[in-house]
Every structure is written in C-alpha cells, then in structure tokens.
A and B are shown apart, each in its own frame.
Chain A
Amino acid sequence: MLDGIKVEIDQAASFVSDDLIDPASCELKIEPIDLRAFPIRLQPIELKSIGYQFPRAGGGVSVFRNRALAGQPGSATANNTAAQIGPHAASQPATSNNHGGPNGSSGQNNSPASTGSLGSGTTAAAGGDTKPAVPDYKPPKPKKLTRIRPPADVVKLEDRLYYLLQPPLELLVGSEQLDFPFEPFPYQLDGIAFLFPRYAAVLADEMGLGKTMQAISTMRLLLCSGEVRSVLLICPKPLVSNWLREFSVWAPEIPVAAIEGSAATRQFQWTSPDIAVKIANYELLMRDRDCVLDQDQHFDLVMLDEAQRIKNQRNSTSVIVREIKRTRSWALTGTPVENSPEDIVGIFEFLSPGYLRSEMSMSTIAKATRDHMLRRTKDMVLEDMPPKLYRDAELELTAEQVATYEKAENEGVVQLENLDQQLTIQHVFELVLRLKQICNFDPATGASAKLERLVADMEEVAASGQKAILFSQWVDSIEQMKPALARFGTLEYHGRIPHKQREGVIKQFKEDPSKHIILMSYGAGSVGLNLQFCRYVFLFDRWWNPAIEDQAINRAHRIGAAGSVTVTRMLMAGTIEQRIAAVLDQKREMFDELFSDSRAPGSAGLSREEIFGLFNLRSPKGKIAA
C-alpha cells in the first residue's frame, strides 16, 4: 500500500507576519495634539487728517467782470478766513525731521513698488516684486512753473497752504482768468509771485524791467481773487496818466480812477466804494490829508510808486503815508538807496515801522530785507536785451563860452571866499548852476558847442528814420536849442507843457514819422514813460545824481527796445561838469563796493562837503545853513 504524502510546512523557511513582530508590540500611542491659538493682533492703521477750506477762491472775478464792485469796507486777509476743520498739526504723531527730499518723492521712488492689482488686467506686481521696467520710456519733461510761495513771516499752516495751493502763474496767463496783452517774461511772473503773498514788500527792479506791469498784474490777481477790494496807489503827479494808461492795458476790467478835480469831487472819489483802485499823487496827499486819514478810510493795499520820495522820514509826505490805515504796504522804486542806507530805512518805516534802524550795518539791513525786497537788473534777467552803448562826448567850449565861463568862475569863487562864515551851500549851488548853464549856452551870444554836436548827430538820426530823446536840466536850455532842431521835427515834454497835453505829445512822438526828437526835462520825463522805440538818448547836461540819469536813459532802454540804445553824455572838458562827473563816478564805485550783491543802487548824490570841494572850498566851521 502506498502511503500518502505528508506535507509539512517547514516552519523555519516560512514567513508569517506575526513571526517578526509581536502584535502586542505594534501598538503606537499617539498623543492627542493640544492646540493652542497664538493670536497676532493686527492693529488697525490709525489715520488722522487735517483739512482747510479756502472760501476765497475766485471770489472777485465775476465781480470785476461785471464792473460792479461790491463796496464792502475792510479786507479779507489771509488770517481771518481760513477755516480749520480737522485736528491741528500739533497732534500729529512722531515724524522724522528728515524729509524725503523735494516734493517728498524720493521715498516713493525708492520704495518697493508693489503696485496693487486692479481687476485682472492692471499693472500687478504680486509678492512685492518690483515693477518691470518700461524700456526706453522717458517721462515728459516738466515745464517751468512759477508758484506763489508764502513769505517767511506767514506762519500759520493754513495761510501757507493757501498760497502754495494757488495755481502756478503760467497756467493763469493767457487763460480766461488772466488774459495778458503780451506774454510776460519769466522774471516778471517771479515778481508777481513775490508781491502776491506779501503784506510788506519792495519791488526794486532796475528801471525798464516792468515794475508797473508786475504791480498791476498782482493787484489784478488780488482783486479778482477777492483778497483785496480797495487799493490806493500814490505816485508822482506826472505819472498819474501813465498809470491809468497801463491799467487800461494790463487790467482793463479793474475800475480805476485818478483822484483829481475840485475838493468836492475829490472827496466823493476818496469815499467811493466803486473805485477799486484810486490813484493819487504825492502832492495831493497834503491837500486831502483829512480825507485820506479819515478814521473810516481803510485800504487793503497802499502802494507807493517812486517810493524814494519818502526816504526822508521827517518830510510831511512821509508822515502822511505812514498814517494811512492799510492792510498791505508795497513800495516800487528803481533806486531803493540813492544816497545812503538811511534811504531804505525811510522806506521801511512805511512798510513796517521799526523793522529797520539807522544804526544797523549794511549787512544787517541786507539780511533783514532779503525776504521783503526783490531787485533784479537787466543783466540778471534779460540775456537778450539789446546793448546800451555809452558815448561820452567830451567837447571843448566855444571861444565865446570860454571867456564867459572863466570870468564867471573866477568872480564866483572870489565871492564865495569873501563870504567866509556866511557861506552857505546855496551860494555854491548858485555858482555851479551858473557855470553849468554857460556850458550849455553862452548867455551873451547863444554859442553852444553842445548844440553844434547835437545838430550834427541828429542829421544822422533823422536820416536813418530813427528817433531820439534829449534831456536837459533846464527848460530855458530846451527853448534855446529849439530853433536849430526845428527841422528834425521837435516835440517838448517838460514842466511848461500842461499835464493834459502831455499824453498827446507822447502819442504824436510815437506815431508821427516826421517827429525825430523829443526835448525833455529830467524832472518831467525821467520816470514812468515808455519810449522804447527810441534808439538814441542825448544827455545835454548831466544831472546831480546818476540814478536820475539812469532813469532817463531807461525811458528808451527798456523791455521792447527795438535795438541797441546809444546814449550820448555831453560833457564840457575842463569845466565844472567834468569835476562833478569825476566825483559821481567815485561815489558810484564806492556804492558798488558796498552793495556787492545784486542790489547795487548805482546812484549817489553829492554831499555838502563834495559840493564845496568842487571849488576847493572848505565848509565853514559849525552848522551850515542849508
């Protein structure tokens, strides 16, 4: 019998999972996770704001467009209308003194620019990645903008912001708001931006740079913005018509009137609220003192033209203008310092009494006035201004003049010496004037070397179709030269020409091609006239003060000059004229040294000692009666 196969499992060669690991030992205890929250509390970003309203914006524009000025007395000043409607800056959190550069923009440029997404298609830069550079992209070059910047003495933030937030002047010019007949020069816009926010300011630009236009345009801005409602402009009498004319050009919508006529008329004008800009001359202030100083009379702005008129603090005009009740005080002058630093102290007594003192050094005065005074010269601002060519005509007296001159001088000096202690400065002046007149014309024969030269020069001027201005100290000299100049078509503008005719004279000179020369006295014609169409200026005799001569010359050499201006200064060799010129040149050099910066006055009159020195005379001891 066959035994069955016995199958056995070889336990040694077999694998059972249980063989290796005891199931009991596989138990893995997992501890429960004990969850704990660790909160990161994100503080909300705390924001605070400050805010200001400017209710004055555009307040006056429509008023003046309609030429119906509301006659509200008083003024809206920068201090009393700004309303703070949020927490004040004092409550701001700590900030660093170190700002991010101009306009605070550097931080923005340097920051990781993670521009946020806007929908799906914006310039997303997730994860803080910097924005991909735009190849070859150049942002448009910013154009020059003239902003009104608050002066240093405006402290309140809302007032400072009011000025900073005004539109740049370039955007106003030519716009519906400020239509100018001509495009202003950039420096003129700077001048407007300087005057606009200031309550005490001197615009001391060199003659011919357009102080009038800058002042009128700023007044216009202030009136149209409702910041001022009443302006008093005080100027020398001969310039009143010029100011009226300039207002019609630069601010035709502003109601302006000259205070003139009978006492009743003037009283009405002084009190009329319909005249936004009143123009009065200095001489009138004395007569209308009661009106102008009336306790109910207040001006938002009082502006003095040719403000050197008040440099002497004690004269009656200075006293009156200082008493006028006003909010803003401006002064225009091309010669802020004519003779001494005392002049500018006098002007500042009107602007800000006590701000300057006579005993201050020039450097202290210069520092103190820096924020209140703006002076530019043609060299500084007009690179393309046509040149001013000086031609000193040193002439020899005619034989007749020599004889008369020597006799007058010798006798005069002897007389002065004989006066001894009785000698006054008037005595010396009389001799100087007599000699200067002889330099012009021999009183006996009418002979004149200057006139001969003038006629010769005028031949050329007239032949080339040009026009010339002649200045003399004396109307009598002008009368004497008229016959010889008649063929050149002469016109006259001096103290003997009635004021009402003067504008017509200027108009004819400008428009009539047959009129080649206008004869002017320094007194009447040296300021305020625009004769830039003239290419020639003749100074028949020299004035005491170079500043006056400069003013005269700048009637022609000013903005809009057609070309170079040739100035012929006539001087008789070996005479008192040459001696005066030498002293004045020395003084000009001294002032140039004193005013080493741009504010050089370029003027200096003769002192008492210098006048005596013209004849080698010594001033008598003790006080000289002047």
Chain B
Amino acid sequence: MASVAEAEPAIGFYTVEQSEFTGWTGGLLVLNASGRPLEFQCTLPIRPSRAHEILYGATLREYLIGDAIGSLLISRCRNTPRMICCDQPEALHLDAHTASPMMLVCEAAETDEGPITDDMLPGYDGLELAGSSLRVATERYEEVSRLLAMFRSLPDIVEPFGRIREAILEAQKQVARARSAAA
C-alpha cells in the first residue's frame, strides 16, 4: 500500500464478486468518515483455469478472496484505510497483507453465509458500528475499539458493499461496450 499522508481518517470496504460469466472481480472502496468515496480500486475479472480449480480445490475461493485479489487491491490503494470491512469471512485472512485490521460486517455477510455466530469464528470478537455487528481478531480488539470512534458518523456500513457491486457492474458494462465498439 502506498504511503500517502492522510488528511482525514479513511475506512475501506472490500468484497469479491463471482459470476459464472465474468469470473471473479474484487473491489476495494475507501470512504471518508462521512461515507464519501475517496478511492476505488477494482480488479479486472479473472477466470481461474481448470488446473487451478483442481489443484487449489476447496481452497481456491479462500486463496482468491483472502490472498490474491485482496492483497493486490490493498497494495494499489493510495489511501491507507484505518481498517477494512469485508463481507466474506475468507477476506479476514488479508490481515497478513495489511497493517489495517480486517473486520467482518456480519449483516453484510449474512446474505450469503447465513447468521454469523460466535462459534463460527473462534478467535474473533464482536464490536458494533453504525448499528451493525463486526467480528475482529481478538488480538486487535482494543485497537479497533479505539479506531471506531473516528467513524461514528457513518450511517451504514452494510450499504457500501452495494456501491462496490454497482461499480463493478458499471466497469464491466464499460468493458463490454468498448469491446463491442472495437469489434
């Protein structure tokens, strides 16, 4: 992640979209404390080969979300978010690639995962922000508790994932149009 002096605290939102047509596309949205966009990074869609699917097996999803895609986006981001919210448990692995603590927004994850319960994430503790439940690594609980105070004016931390999905869709449409025009 590039080091840029931050004028204001920023919070990241990270998700990966998977479509059988386009493949896997990751998006990282950085907002200021008021929820306004500061930066958006997204990958171009990738399609793992059959060999990847066989050899990575069940770990492919974890690898893509929690390693390959996320680490690239974080490294490209010019704003350093104080913390990064995600809506997929696999993304919590990105803790290894960033100094910013990763947090799972339970209400956002529940659409795909079902209810997030304590026994599903041992080693993670619960916090709250903007009326939503968070899960954060126990060893970073104190740190995140302090950081949350900066983002108390955020009205909603579930909705930004919808923005990312809209933006990814728009980018894909743009690519499709460009290709169509070039053909």
The one of B22, B156, B160 in contact with A100, judged by C-beta atoms closer than 8 angstroms, is: B22
| Count of chain A residues with a beta carbon within 8 Å of a chain B beta carbon | 78
| A116 adjacent to B62 (CB under 8 Å) | yes
Q: Do B35 and A98 touch across chains, with their CB atoms under 8 A apart? A: no
Docked-complex contact B166 and A113, CB < 8 angstroms: no
One digit per residue, 1 when the CB lies within 8 angstroms of any chain A CB and 0 when it does not, for chain B 82-100 equals: 0000000110110000000
**A141-174 CB contact bits vs B (8 Å, 1 = yes)?**
0000101000000000100111011111001100
**Cβ of A167 and Cβ of B159 under 8 Å apart?**
yes
Task: Tell whether B6 is near chain A: CB-to-CB under 8 Å.
Answer: no
Q: How far is the CA of A93 from the CA of B92 in the complex (A)?
A: 28
Judge whether B18 and A111 touch: CB under 8 Å. Answer: yes
The answer to whether A108 and B58 touch across the interface, beta carbons within 8 angstroms, is: no
A54 and B40: CB pair below 8 A? yes
Contact of B69 among A47, A55, A110 (CB under 8 A): A47
| CB proximity of B111 to chain A, nearest CB, Å | 5
- Closest chain-B Cβ to A316's Cβ sits at a distance in Å of 42
Residue A444 is within 8 A (CB to CB) of chain B in the complex: no
| Residues of chain B with a CB closer than 8 A to A113's CB | 61, 112
Say how far B150's CB is from chain A's closest CB, in angstroms: 14
Given contacts A89-B174, A93-B44, contact A168 B159 (CB under 8 A): yes
CB distance from A607 to the nearest CB of B (A): 46
Contact B172 A99 (CB under 8 A): yes
Shortest distance between the CB of B118 and any CB in chain A (Å): 9
Assess the B20–A49 pair: CB atoms within 8 A. Answer: no
- A-B pairs with beta carbons under 8 A, tally: 248
B182's closest neighbor in chain A, by CB?
A90
Known A-B contacts A54-B40, A86-B76; the reply to A105 vs B17 at CB < 8 A is: yes
Given A118-B90, A165-B37, A171-B159, does the pair A157, B170 have CB atoms closer than 8 Å?
A: yes
By a CB distance below 8 angstroms, the chain B residues around A276 are none
Contact A116 B39 (CB under 8 A): no
- Whether a CB of chain A sits under 8 angstroms from the CB of B145 is no
Size range of the interface on B? Answer: 35 or more
B20–A110 CB distance below 8 A: yes
- Per the bound structure, the CA–CA distance linking A2 and B85 in Å amounts to 110
**Which residue of the partner chain, among A50, A96, A115, contacts B41 with CB atoms under 8 Å?**
A50
> How long is the Cα–Cα vector from A287 to B95 in the complex, in angstroms?
66
Find A49's partner among B36, B43, B93, B165 (CB 8 Å cutoff).
Answer: B43
Q: For residues 66 through 114 of chain B, which have their beta carbon under 8 Å from a beta carbon of chain A?
A: 66, 68-69, 72-73, 76-79, 89-90, 92-93, 107, 110-114
**Are B18 and A162 in contact (CB-based, < 8 A)?**
no
Chain B residues with CB below 8 A from A125, complex form: 58
Q: When chains A and B are docked, how far (Å) is the Cα of A97 from the Cα of B174?
A: 10
Q: Which residues of B contact A122 (CB under 8 A)?
A: 89, 120-121
Query: Which chain A residues border B34 with CB–CB below 8 Å?
Result: 57-58, 61, 176-177
Please tell me if A80 contacts chain B, counting CB pairs below 8 Å.
no
**Contact indicator A42/B55 (Cβ below 8 Å):** yes
B66 and A116 form a contact (CB under 8 A): yes
- Distance between A4 CB and nearest chain B CB, rounded to angstroms: 81
In the docked arrangement, what's the CA distance between A45 and B25, Å? 13
A108 touches B38 (CB 8 A): no
Interchain nearest-CB distance for A153 vs B (Å): 14
State whether B38 touches A103 (Cβ < 8 A). no
Query: Interface readout for A83-111 with B: 1 if CB under 8 Å, 0 if not?
Result: 00110011011111111101111111111
B interface list, Cβ under 8 A from A: 8, 17-23, 25-26, 29, 31-32, 34-46, 48-49, 51-52, 55, 57-66, 68-69, 72-73, 76-79, 89-90, 92-93, 107, 110-115, 119-123, 153, 155-156, 159-160, 162-163, 165-176, 178-180
5 residue pairs of the A-B complex, CB under 8 angstroms, read A85-B78, A121-B119, A160-B170, A167-B159, A176-B153
